[in-house]
């Protein structure tokens, strides 16, 4: 692995991802600068989540090149722990992404142990405070938490290893509007405090409008266009498909 300090935090060149015979992502390239929030927008089946899966190591059959913070990934090779530490992920469904038999304490201590952090007790207390979970939640099981609290646990689990990049896969679409607002506020605060880089996948343009600096619109595995976020205000899109999507969301 060679480090290239001049490049962006996330560099993806000509990425293609397959599931068996199906090509879910076709030759996609993009770059996300450190501290930037980049949104991937598209309808179901457009391949937006697949890009996150490939970056997170959950889809193995890919080609092209990907690097995070200068650490290049090699297709088919085992990822180093250092790479995994840089890049963590928050899943869509907070009901499914937490193990039903593990307490918050167990869920949070596992990544800290894997990455060899010391003073785990203190670390868990700190990260829980950072995501706005009181100490009384520490030994609860997921079913004793609300949806918003669970998503906070999922965010804390991603943060406890001090990553540089968070992959956010529809992080609020399973939540009620009022809870969504709390989680979005939390994500904004954490980005500011920790200098995080976000790669956000969502179908909700209003979330993109609020959170992202740039967005890419996907259709059938390819980028239709990439625009700065101001385009959502002015509607200045180049492609017909994007304009339709934008019109449907703006209603």
Q: Which residues bind another protein (CB under 8 A)?
A: 43-44, 56-58, 81, 84-85, 87-89, 91-93, 96-103, 105, 110-111, 114-115, 121, 136-137, 139-141, 143-144, 147, 154, 157, 161, 176-182, 184-185, 188, 203, 205-207, 209-211, 229, 232-233, 244-245, 248-249, 251
* Contact of 183 with 171, CB cutoff 8 Å: yes
3-class DSSP assignment, residue 5: coil
Cβ at position 2, least distance to another protein in Å: 21
* Contact of 205 with 245, CB cutoff 8 Å: yes
Q: How far apart are CA 128 and CA 133, in angstroms?
A: 5
Q: Give, as one character, the DSSP assignment of residue 64.
A: E
- Smallest Cα–Cα separation from 49: which of 10, 84, 92, 78? 92
Q: Which is nearer to another protein, 27 or 194 (CB)?
A: 194
Q: Which is nearer to another protein, 12 or 161 (CB)?
A: 161
* Contact of 42 with 18, CB cutoff 8 Å: no
Q: Which is nearer to another protein, 138 or 194 (CB)?
A: 138
CA atoms in the 13 A half-sphere facing the CB of 119? 5
Cβ at position 55, least distance to another protein in Å: 10
User: Whats the size of the chain, residue-wise?
Assistant: 251
Q: Which is nearer to another protein, 12 or 186 (CB)?
A: 186
Q: Give, as one character, the DSSP assignment of residue 161.
A: T
Cβ at position 80, least distance to another protein in Å: 9
Cβ at position 197, least distance to another protein in Å: 16
Q: Which is nearer to another protein, 34 or 81 (CB)?
A: 81
Cβ at position 221, least distance to another protein in Å: 16
């Amino acid at each position: 692995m060679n480090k290239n300090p001049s490049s962006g935090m996330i560099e993806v060149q000509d990425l293609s991802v397959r599931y068996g015979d199906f090509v879910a992502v076709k030759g996609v390239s993009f770059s996300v600068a450190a501290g930037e929030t980049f949104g991937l927008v598209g309808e179901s089946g457009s391949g937006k989540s697949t890009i996150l899966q490939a970056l997170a190591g959950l889809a193995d059959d890919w080609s092209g090149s990907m690097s995070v913070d200068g650490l290049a990934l090699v297709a088919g090779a085992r990822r180093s722990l250092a790479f995994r530490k840089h890049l963590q992920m928050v899943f869509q469904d907070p009901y499914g992404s937490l193990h039903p038999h593990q307490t918050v304490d167990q869920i949070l201590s596992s990544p800290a142990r894997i990455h060899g952090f010391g003073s785990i007790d203190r670390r868990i207390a700190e990260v829980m405070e950072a995501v706005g979970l009181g100490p009384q939640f520490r030994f609860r099981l997921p079913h004793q938490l609300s949806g918003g609290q669970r998503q906070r646990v999922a965010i804390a689990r991603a943060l406890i290893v001090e990553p540089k990049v968070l992959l956010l896969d529809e992080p609020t679409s399973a939540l009620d509007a009022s809870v969504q607002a709390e989680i979005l506020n939390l994500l904004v605060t954490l980005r500011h405090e920790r200098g995080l880089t976000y790669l956000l996948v969502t179908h909700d343009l209003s979330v993109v409008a609020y959170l992202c600096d740039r967005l890419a619109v996907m259709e059938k595995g390819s980028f239709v266009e990439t625009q700065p976020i101001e385009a959502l205000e002015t509607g200045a899109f180049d492609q017909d498909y994007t304009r339709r999507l934008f019109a449907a969301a703006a209603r």
